[in-house]
A and B are shown apart, each in its own frame.
Chain A
Amino acid sequence: MEGFMYPNELELQWSILIVLYPFITGLVAGAFILASLERVFNVEAVKPTYRLALLTALSFMLVAPLPLQLHLGHPERSFEMLLTPHTTSAMAMFGYVYLWYLMVVLVVEIWLDYRKDLVLAWHRSTGLTRLFYKVLTLGSGNISAGALKVDDTVGRIVTIVGIPSAFLLHGYVGFIFGSVKANPWWSTPMMPIVFLFSAIVSGIAAVLVLYIVITAWRGAHLDMACIDTIGRYLFYAFLIDFSLEMIDLIHRIYEADESFRSLDFMVHTRLFVSQIVIQIIVGTLIPIAMLALVQLMRLPERVRTWIYLSSGILTLAGIFAMRWNVVIGGQLFSKSFLGYTTYKLEFATREGLLPAILVMVLPFIILALLIRLLPPWATARASVPAVTEVA
């Protein structure tokens, strides 16, 4: 401890797991927004990533409650949020918003989109696999033109409903922080908006990187029109996100209220690497510059692909750093504005680095499994064309 802190403040309350939770739900929301670009706004070019984006969102969505359960003092009581949610608490809506988004938006939309493939898979498999796909179809084998048209319409409605749902899923997390008047690092109406736009940026970047990596790994042909379009949307989203964060920063510096000196000192010392270096320079300015280069100059395909891949990875690091700076940063200074503490990140404890790494690896394992069970792209051997439109 440096300076003075209220005696109960020395220990940080929210750990790296609480940094991961908004990062993960941000990826979910962002990936979904990218998918909705094609489904609702008819941006045809990104269609090759449509299913991948949905599966990515689902993989991360399934893992999202895990860091929270590892953090809670009594995870076995967490269902109380569903039984007696306290309506004045932003956190209380987690149970319902999560279930709504997972079941009604993601699962239904994926089910409707994959239904034809599931029915065909059901009919051509045997044994346990046959039963598995049959259960997934809910026993209904109707993939007539009429049924598929219904699926398409309902799917479109679900996606439209899904967009504000995605905003709610991630926006409420921003509000959890933004509404804490006790903490001047968190308390700002900008918080849910900044969280949301950085989520969109991270989700788009994640799908972009995954698409490039998986396509290369499959040895398949990379759709340049697709990644050029995604790269452009990433660039626009980033410009908005960066502007919002700069507004917040400039506003703080300009108004210089009672908390400013303490926060300023904290940023220049304890948060220097994570905020100035990783979040701003490496995670925002460099990717924006690289993406701007693609917009301004005519660059060959290989160069563009490498720019998308590396800027995507840097972006993800930058958005993670942003979550870190908000969550951890908000707890490093004393509410007396007279002191600072440090975050002791341990390794193999319940809220340590090891579980954090496992939590971040798990969605990729789930994604690999989902890609096997529900292929996003047509493969040479499959007799199942992965189409979303009905002839």
Chain B
Amino acid sequence: MSTSRREFLMVGTKLLVMTAATRSALAHVLAGTPEQVDTYTAAEHWWAMVIDIEKCIGGGNCVKACKDENDVLNEPMYFRTWVERYHVNSADAEHPVVDSPNGAYDGFPEAYAEGEGKTFFVPKMCNHCVDSPCTQVCPVGATFVTVDGVVLVDKEYCIGCRYCVQACPYGCRYIDPRTHTADKCTLCYHRITKGLLPACVEVCPTGARQLADLKNPRDPVHEFLRTHPIQVLKPQMATGAKIFYNGLDGAVR
């Protein structure tokens, strides 16, 4: 009898603890949903991201996580983020060999012997430009820069003219064949406004991707930007891109 009561107590306590823990986890994940009180003030944030090329190992976990999180069509032509592998033979820096097999959804296959030329990985995504050319050309106001610096698409308003896709110098936009509207990386806006990290940042095994809030004086991004050589993609386009790369090679397109 005592054993079964002990068992009961053990199982019961475990259940209680688990329920309490689940509730706490639930609360953690749900914090900030429309049902709860919304404490997010957009004007207090200015979102950006830092990508450290020296840390990226081309695992492609970010690509998979993004597609899982954002319900992106899993076909080889639609990516909110992807990773490119650059291989530069020392003699020919102007002609890198670049590949991105299915956007690196499954990582990269073997291709280059160790020590042969220079190989590195470049994760790419929407640069959430301050002077966003895609926003400039939208004829109806279906894509826009939010107060906190994230470029979003209004799927109820987009007419699917594809002008924004043409105007993006980075190739980060596409038309979702299911909704016939423009689609792209949202910096996981639904997550960052609830204190969570974007999915790609969450799963990166080496910490190559870091979310940054430039308006937060205590954000480590400020120190990082001050102590590393930082580049944005296609700076000559003057888009005000906010994805800052550390260690970006000149061969990167």
Known A-B contacts A7-B82, A181-B133, A182-B133; the reply to A73 vs B139 at CB < 8 A is no
Per-residue B-contact encoding for A1-36, CB less than 8 Å = 1, 0 else: 000111111110110000000000000000000000
In the complex, the 7 A-B pairs of residues with the closest C-beta atoms, listed nearest first = A73-B160, A73-B180, A6-B171, A336-B253, A182-B169, A92-B139, A4-B98
Given contacts A4-B98, A6-B124, A8-B172, contact A81 B158 (CB under 8 A): no
Residue of B whose beta carbon sits closest to that of A83: B140
The answer to the question of A91 belonging to the interface, with a C-beta cut-off of 8 Å to chain B, is yes
* Inter-chain residue pair count (beta carbon < 8 A): 125
Contact digits for A67-94, partner B, Cβ 8 Å, 1 yes 0 no:
0000111110110110011101111101
- CB < 8 Å neighbour of A80 from B133, B140, B165: B140
Cβ of B137 under 8 Å from chain A: yes
Within A330-375, which residues are at the interface with B (CB < 8 Å)? Answer: 331, 334-338
The CA-CA distance from A32 to B98 in the complex, in Å, is: 50
Q: Footprint of B on A, CB under 8 Å?
A: 4-11, 13-14, 71-75, 77-78, 80-81, 84-86, 88-92, 94, 176, 179-183, 331, 334-338
Would you call B167 an interface residue if the criterion is a C-beta within 8 Å of the partner chain's C-beta atoms?
yes
Task: Determine the chain A residues whose CB is within 8 A of the CB of B162 once the complex forms.
Answer: 13-14, 73
A75 to B160, CA, bound (A): 8
Binding site for A on B (CB under 8 A): 76-79, 82, 84, 96-100, 102-103, 124, 133, 135-142, 157-163, 165-175, 179-181, 237, 253
Find out whether the CB atom of A10 lies under 8 angstroms from the CB atom of B77: yes
Distance between Cα atoms of A140 and B139 in the complex (Å): 40
10 inter-chain pairs at a CB distance below 8 angstroms, sorted by A residue, are: A4-B84, A4-B97, A7-B77, A7-B78, A71-B161, A73-B160, A88-B136, A181-B133, A182-B168, A335-B253
Contact A74 B158 (CB under 8 A): yes
Chain A interface SS verdict (over half): loop
Contact A91 B163, CB 8 Å, known A8-B171, A335-B171: yes
CB pair B98–A8 under 8 Å, yes or no, is: no
Q: Would A7 and B159 count as touching, CB distance under 8 A?
A: no
Give Cα distance in the complex from A334 to B253, angstroms: 10
Whole-angstrom CA separation of A85 from B163 in the bound complex: 14
A residues in contact with B166, CB < 8 Å: 13-14, 180, 182-183, 331
Question: A10-B76, A182-B237, A337-B253 are known contacts; what are 10 more A-B pairs with Cβ within 8 Å?
Answer: A7-B76, A14-B166, A73-B159, A74-B181, A78-B159, A80-B141, A81-B139, A81-B140, A86-B141, A180-B137
What's the least CB distance linking B224 to chain A, in Å?
A: 27
Q: How far is the CB of B122 from chain A (nearest CB, A)?
A: 11
Q: Which residues of B contact A94 (CB under 8 A)?
A: 139
Contacts known (A8-B78, A180-B167); A89 close to B139, Cβ less than 8 A: yes
Query: Of B138, B169, B179, which is within 8 A of A89 by CB?
Result: B138
Q: A4-B99, A72-B159 are in contact. Are A91 and B139 (CB under 8 A)?
A: yes
Q: Are A73 and B100 in contact (CB under 8 A)?
A: no
- Measured CB to CB, the nearest residue on chain A to B174 is A8
Q: Which residues of B contact A90 (CB under 8 A)?
A: 137
